[in-house]
Amino acid sequence: MEILILGIILVALMAWASTRIKKNAAAAFDAETVVEPAFTIDKPEGMLHVLNGNPELAFEAYSKEFATGVMSKMRLFRAEIKKLHPTGVAAKLAEIKKSGKVTDDRKEVIDGRTYHVIEIEEGGTKAPSRIKYKIGETGDSAYVLKIRALEEAGEAIIEKLDVMLESFVVRD
């Protein structure tokens, strides 16, 4: 009888823990504002902010969903922010413009700070993608936001990623 009672308690405890873990895992994909000392960005719902990921990146996030077909191992969309030395901005802009068909190339001014916004379409032997960049400079460095969405992502996802792009601002 005692074993039965202990078994019931153990099963109830495991069910409670499992539910709690699932709830916390689902919350990781909720929308949130990521505030770092150098920048702020709004992560949309459906993306996971990777903590302790690639040490070369200041920010990394990817979609919950995967592509279909032959690209089924690729995330549907991902975002990353990389720190640059401000003298490397011109070279980075040139590199971006050479990497695919440029569909948008403009400058924005937010709070007196100039940002370069570039969108390219990538295809050929690579996975067909739309890639958006936003580069903001601070006094001693620059930050490059790169958002890649596979073509199959659809306009609803692209709109969410545009909100993410617009929310990215660098701070001193």
Q: pLDDT class for 134, splitting at 50, 70, 90?
A: very high
pLDDT tops 90 at residue 119: yes
pTM: 0.82
Output the pLDDT for position 125: 61
Output the pLDDT for position 87: 79
Output the pLDDT for position 124: 65
Question: Across all residues in the chain, what is the average pLDDT?
Answer: 86
Section 145-158 average pLDDT = 88
pLDDT tops 80 at residue 153: yes
Over the stretch 4-24, which tens digit does the pLDDT of each residue have?
888 888 888 888 878 887 777
Q: pLDDT class for 68, splitting at 50, 70, 90?
A: confident
pLDDT tops 90 at residue 85: no
What is the β-pairing status of strands 77-84 and 113-122?
A: unpaired
Is the pLDDT higher at 26 or at 160?
A: 160
Output the pLDDT for position 97: 87
Output the pLDDT for position 26: 63
**Cα–Cα distance for residue pair 71/57, rounded to 1 Å:** 24
